[in-house]
């Protein structure tokens, strides 16, 4: 039996493409179906996902993505004040924010109102790495997370390692943390047909998905695959490093073995036809692309970056200087080309290992099925 309806605000920058945005797009209709009143609060106008007609949209701001970091920082108190007025006017009982800036405003809103509301924030990154840089922006974010996050009623992380990092290094009370993994729409993905005629069967074909940005570490993948003449790598994603990657591909003579495929809205058709998924990221929150590959029965070869891969692949023992076998693939130390090449050599020489992973992957992915995870969110948000 459902609880009494709540007046819930879901607060995020926008509904552009991204992991947090996808979770929001799943959560909005689910909460409505469960009988709750929901308002979506945005600071940008981009809507890549549909919003249920029952959910009104309130624009706290209409700033563009190109707004400077200084402007965003200076506007925080003003927007927090506006959000406080909104909470009181709309009689919001539960406020849940995703992504860093909305989380700051959600917490700061309490400075400007005595209106009672349950205040929840969602941390999508591994904080010590995301906010641990030496540049000014990282230092400001580190300061704000330490000062603000402990004041939230609840901090929901999408990985256990991320939640523990908040406790150990940012002063968040362990009793105020929860972990809910990202959900995946297994049924929808299972209906997608594989592009069986796309890959050349004379090669072992790997797929990688990720924005072409430094933290995804594609240059590392290029160095790792270079020696293996029978391996082809297809990288799906766009970003600022495309030209640099194209230059490196030419420099290494990989034009016939590494392909930059651009953004693809339906990568599942390729994932289902490939031999394994290759991932070299430096840091993550909880990488959705690994879940998507697992849902396609695609074995994983990935760096053991913080956070997510070790939890998703149920790693039993981490190693700093060697490859790590799991039931679902192989993990390697971050940015260690020699270890990644050792992992690649193993899977190329042992195709039976990849075959053995596939049924276990399809069983493991059930733990991330969308509906139970959305219900876990509902229970935390509305309790």
Q: Quick one: average pLDDT of 118-123?
A: 96
The Cα 356–Cα 346 span in angstroms is: 14
User: Other C-beta atoms within 10 Å of 61: how many?
Assistant: 19
Q: What's the pLDDT tens digit per position in 100-115?
A: 999 999 999 999 999 9
DSSP string, 122-190: EE-S-HHHHS--SSHHHHHHHHHHHHHGGGSSEEEESSHHHHHHHHHHH---GGGEEE-PPPB-HHHHH
Q: Are 277 and 271 in contact (CB under 8 A)?
A: yes
Q: What is the per-residue pLDDT for 4?
A: 54
Task: For each of the domains in the chain, give its residue range(s) and CATH number, in order of start.
Answer: 7-183+369-382 (3.40.50.2000), 187-368 (3.40.50.2000)
Q: Quick one: average pLDDT of 68-92?
A: 93
pTM for this predicted structure: 0.87
At residue 132 the predicted structure's pLDDT band, cuts being 50, 70 and 90, is confident
Does the pLDDT of residue 1 top 50, yes or no?
no
Q: What percent of the chain has pLDDT over 90?
A: 83
CA angle 237, 300, 359 (to 5 degrees): 125
Q: What's the pLDDT tens digit per position in 254-289?
A: 999 999 999 888 999 999 999 999 999 998 888 989
């Amino acid at each position: 039996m459902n609880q009494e309806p709540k007046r819930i605000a879901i607060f995020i920058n926008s509904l552009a493409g991204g992991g947090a945005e996808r979770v929001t797009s799943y959560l909005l209709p689910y909460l409505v179906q469960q009988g709750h009143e929901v308002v979506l609060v945005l600071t940008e106008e981009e809507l890549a996902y549909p919003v249920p007609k029952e959910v009104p949209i309130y624009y706290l701001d209409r700033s563009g993505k190109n707004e400077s970091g200084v402007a965003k920082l200076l506007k925080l108190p003003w927007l927090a004040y506006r959000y406080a007025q909104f909470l009181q006017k709309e009689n919001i009982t539960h406020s849940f924010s995703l992504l860093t800036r909305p989380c700051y405003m959600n917490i700061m809103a309490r400075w400007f109102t005595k209106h009672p509301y349950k205040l929840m924030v969602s941390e999508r990154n591994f904080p010590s790495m995301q906010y641990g840089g030496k540049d000014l922006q990282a230092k400001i974010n580190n300061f704000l997370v330490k000062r603000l996050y402990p004041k939230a009623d609840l901090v929901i992380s999408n990985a256990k390692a991320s939640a523990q990092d908040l406790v150990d290094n940012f002063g968040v009370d362990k009793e105020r943390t929860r972990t809910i993994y990202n959900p995946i729409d297994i049924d929808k993905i299972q209906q997608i047909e594989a592009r069986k005629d796309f890959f050349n069967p004379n090669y072992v074909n790997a797929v990688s998905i990720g924005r072409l940005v430094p933290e995804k570490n594609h240059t590392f993948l290029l160095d790792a695959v270079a020696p293996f003449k029978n391996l082809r790598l297809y990288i799906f994603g766009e970003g600022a490093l495309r030209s640099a990657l194209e230059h490196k591909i030419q420099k290494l003579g990989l034009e016939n073995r590494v392909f930059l495929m651009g953004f693809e809205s339906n990568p599942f058709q390729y994932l289902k036809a490939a031999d394994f998924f290759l991932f070299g990221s430096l840091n993550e929150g909880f990488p959705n692309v690994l879940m998507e590959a697992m849902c396609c029965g695609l074995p994983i070869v990935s760096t053991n970056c913080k956070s997510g891969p070790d939890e998703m692949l149920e790693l039993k023992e981490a190693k700093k200087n060697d490859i790590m076998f799991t039931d679902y693939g192989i993990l390697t130390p971050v940015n260690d080309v020699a270890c990644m090449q050792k992992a690649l050599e193993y899977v190329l020489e042992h195709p039976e290992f990849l075959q053995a992973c596939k049924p276990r992957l399809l069983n493991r992915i059930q733990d991330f099925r969308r509906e139970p995870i959305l219900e876990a969110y509902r229970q935390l948000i509305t309790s």
